[in-house]
Amino acid sequence: MGSYRVCVCFRRRFKSGEAVAPQEVREIFNKYAEGGAHMTPEQLRRFLVEVQGEVDDEKDGLDTQKVVEEVLQKRHHITKFARHNLTLEDFHHYLFSTEFNPPIRSKVHQDMTAPLSHYFIYTGHNSYLTGNQLSSDCSDIPIIKALHRGVRVVELDIWPNSTKDDVLVLHGRTLTTPVDLIKCLKSIKEHAFSASPYPVVITLEDHLTSDLQAKAAQMITQTFGDMLFCPNDENLNNIPSPEELKYRIMISTKPPKEYLNSKSVRENSEQLLKSKSKDSDEDEWGKEVTDVVHAQNEDDKGDCDSHQQNDDDDESNDDEYETNHESEYKRLIAIHAGKPKGSLKEALKVEEDKVRRLSLSEQALEKAAESLGTDLIRFTQKNFLRIYPKGTRVTSSNYKPLIGWMHGAQMVAFNMQGYGRNLWLMHGMFRSNGECGYVKKPDFLMNVGPNNEVFNPKDKLEVKKTLKVKIYVGDGWSMDFKQTHFDSYSPPDFYARVGIAGVPADVTMKKTKTIEDNWIPTWEEEFTFPLTVPELALLRVEVHEYDMSETDDFAGQTCLPITELKQGIRAVPLYDRKGEKYNSVRLLMKFDFI
């Protein structure tokens, strides 16, 4: 029993305790235990194959005897058991355990032998920033955190120091305090493969003089040594595969620009900080993810062929590269970045003997998607496309990643130190494929038809697959939160939102009823989601606590890739706003494809 003080002399009392098995779980237990009080390992095996869709083959045989022993040990904390089967409560505990019964596959299972450009790659933007884009500290700490999360592309902006004799990492022409390049390189070396063995790409935004480029090259070579992948041919026709590049570091950079010094650094930064209301986070957990918008904001207007020359993230022309002397620095570049002169349509032309990287801002991508959608897809079948956030996102918020993925962009670069719904989608996408940071692009983005045609994102598609989701019950808040966290006078009133992020035709969000005064809400509600492009769809789940007088309280979220979902009844762990997993908060859900 829990009690809440309402006034000095009166307490309201509410029941609390452990989640009980939903009716459907009781019926399943009864069916597979054949009416008995216990379920044997053999009966559990039948349930796992028939309801959960688990494969029981010679290679990955289901050791249900071991499963039963582990469940009993975890639940009853006794090492030796006379009993070797499960009660209803044990069975429910097993189903509601994120450790025993997770919602998605946990191993790398995709083909990792295709060229690197055939994969979506977990990509960071300004990876060295601890906070906002204008005045936060630069540090190696956010780089380390990103690598531990599985991020595979790290971005460093490199500039000369004030005496022009060393290289610093900082966000140029802002008030960010710098960090030494060598410190960042050493941390990347130490932590690069903590979460995944697949290659780490360092994208350099280079503002160095040629002598400092030579110094940076020396630092990179001495730090990484044999880990560096340096191609023999600068016009590498095909980048090797993630499998071939395991435990390797790759450098990707554009042709060097002259170091540009801005006299009005302080004034520009302070002015932008004051105007951060232009940022896109509308509430404390980030604005709602909606359809891909075609309407442009006032600050986004302009010709998509102008290439946003004033943007630090943008690429310079290849011609500038040739004016610099051949250098050790140039030899290190594994993925060449650069934007040929002329229109964006020209820039998207595929060259037979060359693989390159092109960068576009989020607005430039949206504009290009309007008229050059198939050009983008044709380009990304061989070359790399990197998308980066617009400059007005000073609080390190993020844009919608789906428009990039729909057009085959491998490097959808995100501010990993920000948070909000768009970052949750990024986390969700890269839970795929054993969280290794590389997700194979769907075949439809790579296919070329008999008449040289490619996928057109504007085509109206038929429903390919329908997902049925049932949300039974939630638990764990009473363990992870203080009794008065949501409401000072009574237990919380939870509701869940369940929906899809994906191509515009698939986007939707639905809501359960609110369960009042209960730490263990039982919803038992089912939702159906028809999907035209399930390969790019993410299941979004959020729980909120209803508040009559103020904004509803956030109580957890997750995003799960539809292609990775395991069928049947599963325990779904929830995460906080920053994407950190709660210790105990989870939902019991059921997934079926029809």
Which residues are identified as catalytic?
125, 171
Task: Record the tokens describing residue 415, joined without a space.
Answer: 């501010």
Strands (E) located in 151-253: 153-160, 167-169, 179-180, 200-206, 249-253
Q: Which of 132, 154, 158 is nearest to 143 (CA)?
A: 154
SS3 content of the chain, % helix, strand, coil (to 5): 30, 25, 45
Q: 569 and 94 in contact (C-beta within 8 Å)?
A: no
Helix/strand/coil for 544: strand
Q: 159 and 206 in contact (C-beta within 8 Å)?
A: no
- What is the secondary structure of 449-468 as a DSSP string? -TTS----TTS-----EEEE
Helix/strand/coil for 524: strand
For 69, counting Cβ atoms within 10 Å of its Cβ (0-12 exposed, 13-18 middle, 19+ buried), the class is middle
Q: Which of 563, 280, 296 is nearest to 394 (CA)?
A: 280
Q: Residues for the chain: how many in total?
A: 594
| Torsional class of 11: left (φ above 0), alpha (ψ -120 to 50), beta (otherwise) | beta
Cα–chain center distance at 530:
23
Q: Which of 433, 383, 400, 386 is nearest to 153 (CA)?
A: 386
Q: 560 and 534 in contact (C-beta within 8 Å)?
A: no
Compute φ and ψ for 411, nearest 5 degrees.
-115, 85
Distance CA 231, CA 555 (A): 49
Tell me how many degrees the CA angle 120-320-304 measures, rounded to the nearest 5.
Answer: 55
Compute φ and ψ for 466, nearest 5 degrees.
-120, 130
Distance CA 488, CA 549 (A): 13
Compute φ and ψ for 238, nearest 5 degrees.
-145, 125
Q: 442 and 120 in contact (C-beta within 8 Å)?
A: no
Q: Which of 176, 204, 184, 192 is nearest to 140 (CA)?
A: 184
Query: Directed axis angle between helix 373-380 and helix 362-371, to 10°?
Result: 110
